[in-house]
Structure 1
Amino acid sequence: MSWNHSTPQPRAPRSGTRVCAVVCAVLLLPDLVLAKIAVLSTETGSRCLVYGGCTPFPGVAFWALLGVALAAMVAALAAPEVAAKPALAVQILLETMAAGLVLAYP
């Protein structure tokens, strides 16, 4: 009886795409908090906080950006390297857009 003892082929090491995707996702919350503090420290933001009457925050657009950014992060973690790098770029772009949305609305 013969056993097939094939050795597994070593996988090509992935670059820091996975690490970068996770780090970007973890740093999103402090980024959003700092963006909100920056907006509230302006004259318009302070007036909005104290007296009210601000334009409503577009929550649906914000959550849609975060949802698609989460999907891009999952793609960057699970996809092969060829597709992971563009997914990481999309994740970073969408997280930047979410922070910009927070900066735009006091």
Structure 2
Amino acid sequence: MLITIVLAFLAGLNAGNGLPHFITGITGQEHPSPLGKSAVVNLLEGWSAFLIGGIFWYFTWLQHGDPILAYTFAALGVFTINLFHARVWRANPEFYKHILPRQKSS
């Protein structure tokens, strides 16, 4: 049961994190992220997060745990990462510039 909870939470966390990056990427907008701020980088980050979330979700279902528990913790994972994004980006939109080494600008 604990494995189901952890995997479902991680699936929701990754899917929720991928959504803002994917949307800004497909709309051609720049958005700061750990790997860069271009639209293509955000698209790839969002797509990768969806893929990782899907893998976690697949392994969640292999556990044959309680589906209500799995959906609940996946939703909690989405809520957690979106709450993090809402608080961090509102307080400091250039958040990643302070925690990552300087990137070469082209």
TM-score bin (small chain) = 0.3 to 0.5
TM-score (norm 1): 0.35
